[in-house]
Amino acid sequence: MESFKADKAAVNGDTAEQNSIEGTDSGVSPSDNRSPALTCSVRPKQLSPVYKVQFSNEELKARLTPTQYNVTQERGTEKAYSGTYYRNRENGIYCCIVCGEYIFTSKTKFYSGTGWPSFSDVVDTARVHLKPDGLGCGCGGSLVPLPSRDASAMRMEVKCHNCGAHMGHMFEDGPKPTGKRYCINSAALIFHRIVEKPEGQKETQV
């Protein structure tokens, strides 16, 4: 009983107040057999997603360019209008430069006037991880006219769901029918051209 009272006093003191504000570890975990009153003021830590594919920093630095590494691993942003795929109009698919995951297609790519490749959709929502990342239109803002466009809308960070590579941001100011604009760094992508064949023959990937 004395031990229980001591624990309760410690949690209700300065340490508990600091943990409640900063979310730091107090040593009390959900699995501890203690009274709920002792743990309710301690916010659990938010764990980062565990990605299927992981690479060491050494390997990535060896096979990625400095810009590709900065963008995908350090959440950097390439200079506007400088990306390889900004004006690319060829038919094909866009994959993650880090792990090769197929994420975008040329069929949803559009000219936004922002200086970065823009897509109105992903091939599968399960292939990206979206995370709130501040306010503002960012990435120059889309030139697509939308009556309900709000420049203060929340932007979402776009990460490859397979390896966690940072790719860019998603905004709710894109063209119909999705109304979304995926503003993606060319440095986060690798493009594979699709060669169209006559009717009856399969397309080939280059």
Q: Are 19 and 38 in contact (CB under 8 A)?
A: no
Active site residue 160: no
Strand (E) or helix (H) holding 20: helix 14-22
80: tokens are: 């506007």
Contact, 167 vs 184, CB < 8 A? yes
Which residue is it, tokens 């830590």? 45
CB atoms within 10 A of CB 75: 14
Among 95, 96, 139, 183, the active-site one is: 183
Structure token pair of residue 24: 């730091």
User: DSSP character for 127?
Assistant: G
**Which residues are part of the catalytic machinery?**
183
